[in-house]
Amino acid sequence: MTETAQQVQEEEIDLTAANEVIDKYQDMHGALMPVLQEIQEAYGYIPEETVHLTAERLNVYASQIYGVLTFYAQFHLEPRGKYIIRVCMGTACHVKGAGRIGDTIKEQLGVGHAETTEDLLFTAEYVACIGACGMAPVIMVNDATYGSITVQKTQEVVKKYQAMG
């Protein structure tokens, strides 16, 4: 974890958003998944304090919640970047140079798979398949897909998002 990400985690978390989410589901049996999903949407990740609050308010063990959080890849326990860059490493993308694309992102941002830049602007993820094999190689930045990506185009895309901040 980067120093900046650690500082974000050490700051006291405002639990208002988490309480509002839990309030919506308080009396619904089996609502843990939507509670966790909405908490992550509110904070960008699942802060430790929200795990303990959720456990207390939904009357479940924190260990059960951590079991869910560590089982499903959709959940994140550390702060993530504003822009999530996903590099497809599926067969079609791999054959067409996805490794070079991943290397380019690592050189440009200084982060590899599952790492976040210190300024919390970018998180890089190498994923098994984006599902756009006909456009290989492919990257996604949040919900935007960039197909037939080259090293040069990758550099341009990253610069575009750096400029947007």
32 token code pair: 């843990």
pLDDT, mean of residues 112-119: 95
Q: What is the pLDDT of residues 24-58, one digit of tens each?
A: 999 898 899 999 999 999 999 999 999 999 999 99
Q: What angle do CA 17, 19, 21 make, to 5 degrees?
A: 70
Based on the domain organization, do 10 and 63 belong to the same domain?
yes
Q: Are residues 61 and 87 in the same domain?
A: no
Q: Tens digits of per-residue pLDDT, 116-145?
A: 999 999 999 999 999 999 999 999 999 999
Asked which of 23, 47, 71 is the last residue of a domain, the reply is 71
Same domain, 117 and 60: no
Q: Are residues 104 and 148 in the same domain?
A: yes
Residue 55 CB-density burial (10 A; 0-12 exposed, 13-18 middle, 19+ buried): middle
**What CATH number should be reported for the domain holding residue 123?**
3.40.30.10
Q: How many domains does the structure of the chain reveal?
A: 2
Backbone φ, ψ for residue 77 (5° rounding): -100, 0
Domain identity same for 66 and 87 = no
Whether residues 88 and 159 fall in one domain: yes
pLDDT, tens digit, 9 for 90 and up, residues 153-162 = 999 999 999 9
Flag whether 148 is in a domain. yes
Percent of the chain with pLDDT over 90: 89
Q: Is residue 114 a contact partner of residue 125, using CB atoms and an 8 Å limit?
A: yes
Same domain? For 57 and 21 the reply is yes
pLDDT at position 6 over 70: no
Give the range of the structural domain holding residue 93, as residue numbers without chain letter.
Answer: 83-164
Does residue 77 form part of some domain? no
pLDDT score of 12:
85
Which pLDDT score, from 0 to 100, does residue 10 have? 55
How confident is the model at residue 1, as a pLDDT? Answer: 47
What's the mean pLDDT when you consider all of the chain? 93
